[in-house]
Amino acid sequence: MKTFLSLGYNSSTVLGELSRNGKAGDATPVILPPSISENFLFDSKQLESKLNEKSRLLILCSPSNPAGSIYPKKLLEEIAKTVAKHPSVLV
C-alpha cells in the first residue's frame, strides 16, 4: 500500500480504520463514511465526489461484514463505471 500512496496521493476508503495505513504512506485518506440509512453502503455519486487527480487507491472493505450488507451487482457496476473515469485509481 505504501508504494501506491507515497508522494502525497489520496486513498479513498470505505472503512475508517484503514486510514492510518494511508497516513503511514504519506497519503491523504479520504473517507466515505457508511450510513445506517443506506444499509452501510454508499452510492457511486458519493464516490465520484471524492475522486480527483490525486486519487490512487480505492479500498472496498467490510471485515467480517458486521452490518450484514452486501454490495448489489448494480452498485458494483456503478462503482466500476465511476472508477473507470479515473484510470490512475487501483481498486
pLDDT per residue over 2-54, tens digit each? 444 444 455 544 445 555 556 556 677 787 777 788 888 887 888 899 898 88
Distance CA 5, CA 48 (A): 19
Q: How far apart are the first and last CA of the chain?
A: 11
| Domain ranges within the chain, ordered by starting residue | 2-65
pLDDT per residue over 73-91, tens digit each? 999 999 999 999 999 988 8
The sign of the CA dihedral 51, 41, 68, 77 is negative
pTM: 0.69
Place of cell 504512506: 25
Mark residue 33 as left, alpha or beta (left: phi above 0; alpha: psi -120 to 50; beta: remaining). Answer: beta
What are the grid coordinates assigned to 22, written together?
494511508
